[in-house]
Amino acid sequence: MRVRGTAALEAIGAAHGLREYRRWQSGRETLEIVLIDDWASGFLRGFTPLPEDRTRLLLHITAAPQTASSPAPTILAYPLGSGETVPLPGAGDSDPLKARLHFGIRPHGDAAPGAFYADPARPDDNRRGADADDVRVYLESLWLYLSLALQLAADPAARTDSYALAAASAPGPEKQSAGSSEQKFERLLVTPGGSAPAETRDQFLLWYDSGSRLIRFVEFTYRDVFSFYQGALVYPADANSGSFPAGLPARVSVTDGVEESEAVHTLILESARLIRTTSGR
C-alpha cells in the first residue's frame, strides 16, 4: 500500500511539471511571478507585510544552491501598483528594485540571512530576523500554496499514507463548480520529511483527479502559523498540466475548510516565467 501512495505522489508531481521544477532547482534561473493577493478581511491581512487588502506583487524566487544546508529558496517580494509595468531587475547596487518597498527571505549567501522588510522611504520601519517573522511566514506559505504538489513530490523523504487513497465526491459548495455532484476524486495524505503523521508535523490531504492527476483541493495542517493553522486550498478545475512554471495554478483560494465557500484570501496569478538569475541580488 505504501508503494501505491508513493506512485500516486510521483504521478501528481509529473502532472504539475516536476521535471521542469527540478531543473529550476539548479539555481540557474529565477522564477518571476506577478500575482494579486486579495484578502477578505483587513484584520487578517494585518498579520502579513502586505500594505493593502488587495495587493499586486512581483515575486522573484531563486532555488537554494546545491551546497546549502537547507533547501529553502530565496524569495523577494515587491508591491506593484495596479497596471504598473513590471520593472526589470538589475545587478547589485544598480538594481532599481532596491529603491522601492520590498521584503523577503534570504536563507543563504547573505551577511544577515533570514527575513527582512525594507522601505527606503521609511527607514524606521525596516525590520530583520525575528522582527520580520510575519514576512517569513507569509512568503513561505505563499510559495507553499502555489507549488505544493511540486514541493511534496520533490521531497525524497515525503511520507504517503495510502489508507487515505479513496474515491470521494467533490466537497461542499464545490460540487456545482466541479460540474457534477458525482465527480470523484482520489485522496492521498502526505507528510513531508519522512515522519508518520503527528501533532508536530505538517500534513496535507490531497484531493486529485484520478485521470489528469491534477490537485483540486487540499486540506492542510500548517504548523508554523499560530503554532498550527488548519484550512483548505481550492485550485482551478481547468488547470494546465505537465509544465513549470506555466502549470502553476492561475488561482488559489485559501479557505477555512473544504466545505467553506468564502475564501480567507485568494491568489490570482497574472504571469509566471523563468529569467536568468542575476548575481548579487
The DSSP result for 180-191, as a single string, is -TT-EEEEEEEE
Q: How far is CA 154 from the centre of its chain?
A: 14
140, containing H or E segment: helix 133-154
DSSP three-state, residue 268: strand
- Beta carbons of 270 and 86 less than 8 angstroms apart: no
Q: How far apart are alpha carbons 247 and 74 in whole angstroms? A: 21
Is omega for the bond preceding 245 within 30 degrees of 0, making it cis?
yes
Residues of the chain with pLDDT under 50: 1, 163-164, 176-181, 226, 280
Instruction: Output the pLDDT for position 163.
Output: 46
Instruction: Output the pLDDT for position 180.
Output: 45
Q: How far is CA 263 from the centre of its chain?
A: 16
Q: How far apart are alpha carbons 129 and 110 in whole angstroms? A: 12
DSSP three-state, residue 192: helix
175-209 tens-digit pLDDT? 544 444 456 788 888 888 766 655 556 788 899 98
86-109 tens-digit pLDDT? 877 766 666 778 889 999 998 876
Tell me which amino acid residue 166 is.
Answer: A
Angle between helices 133-154 and 2-15 (to 10 degrees): 110
Q: Report the Cα–Cα distance between both ends of the chain, in Å, rounded.
A: 46
Q: How far apart are alpha carbons 128 and 117 in whole angstroms? A: 6
pTM (two decimals): 0.86
Q: According to the 3-state scheme, what is the secondary structure of 121-136?
A: CCHHHCEEHHHHHHHH
Burial class (CB in 10 A: 0-12, 13-18, 19+), 157: exposed
Q: Are strands 114-118 and 159-161 parallel, antiparallel or unpaired?
A: unpaired
